[in-house]
Amino acid sequence: MTRTKDRSDRGGTFLLGEERRRSQRVVLCVGVTVRFQISGQNVTVSGHTVSVNDHGAMLLCPRPLESGQQLTIRNDATRNEVPCRVTRASCDSSQGFLVPIEFTEAAADFWQISFPPTDWKPVE
């Protein structure tokens, strides 16, 4: 059962936890290169985004990454790089591992898209 919370002051309802989101998520597939270290060894893997926002993304990678892992991602389309960290443990999926990341520095135009306004909600 999905729990919701009334938000009469702003109209409608939202899923619990949604009020904590800092920016809108947008479903977008962008090729990325992920670099990190394990036991002092440099590791590079290719992946892509499942969704993006102003503060990070959900990546699909061929291997799991630990919560708190520091890494660098490169947007393969623009070749821009930004430091990130894994926010939660990776989840296994049929296509690979879903890895939630957040930028550790401001990167407003990293994805090269315009995000919807913060009060935007899809039609139900």
Question: Is there a domain that residue 5 lies in?
Answer: no
Q: What is the 3-state secondary structure (H, E, C) of 39-104?
A: CCEEEEEEEEEEEEECCEEEEEECCCCCCCCEEEEEECCCCCEEEEEECCCCEEECCEEEEEEEEC
CATH code where residue 66 lies:
2.40.10.220
Mean pLDDT along residues 17-35: 78
Q: Calculate mean pLDDT across residues 58-87.
A: 97
Per the confidence metrics, is the pTM higher than 0.85?
no
Q: 88 in a domain, yes or no? A: yes
Instruction: Look at residue 98 in the predicted model and tell me its pLDDT.
Output: 97
Domain hosting 51: range is 26-103
Return the higher-pLDDT residue of 69 and 114. 69
Q: What is the pLDDT of residue 22?
A: 58
Residue at 53 is within a domain: yes
**Number of separate domains in the chain:** 1
